Amino acid sequence: MPYYISPPPQGPLTRIIAAIVTVFALIGAFMIGMAALLVVGGIALVAGLVIWLRVLWIKHQLRKSGVDLDAGVRTRKHQKSGHVIEAEYTVVSKGDNQKEE
């Protein structure tokens, strides 16, 4: 025989009242959970906005100081003249694996 801390209600009126109280308790828990989710979501949204604005400000400061942030992103057709380094070279030694003929 199971032992209950508080036995289940026996009469139909007490069962109806227990069901109503249970429904209100579940609705209250859901409402508190939604409020907590909104608070946490709002804090995350504000933190993300602050981080995004900070990154934009840092990029602005770097561009203002003369740093080219897009130098590594440009393709060959978008590069301005002066960005390509041309050079000639001479082989000094061929290495140990190759014999000179």
Report the SS3 class of residue 22: helix
3-state SS class at 9? coil
Residue 63 vs residue 28, higher pLDDT:
28
Calculate mean pLDDT across residues 18-35: 96
pLDDT score recorded for residue 83: 65
- pLDDT computed for residue 63 by the predictor: 87
Whether the predicted model's global pTM rises above the 0.75 cut? no
In terms of average pLDDT, the best of 7-11, 14-18, 38-42 is 38-42
**Does the pLDDT at position 57 exceed 60?**
yes
Look at residue 15 and tell me whether its pLDDT is greater than 80: yes
Percent of the chain residues topping a pLDDT of 70: 80
Measure the CA angle with vertex 28, ends 45 and 38; round to 5°. 5
Among 71, 73, 97, residue whose Cα is nearest residue 83: 71
Mean pLDDT across the stretch 67-79? 62
Contact 9, 18 (CB under 8 A): yes
* Distant-in-sequence, close-in-space partners of 100: CB < 8 Å, separation ≥ 6: 94
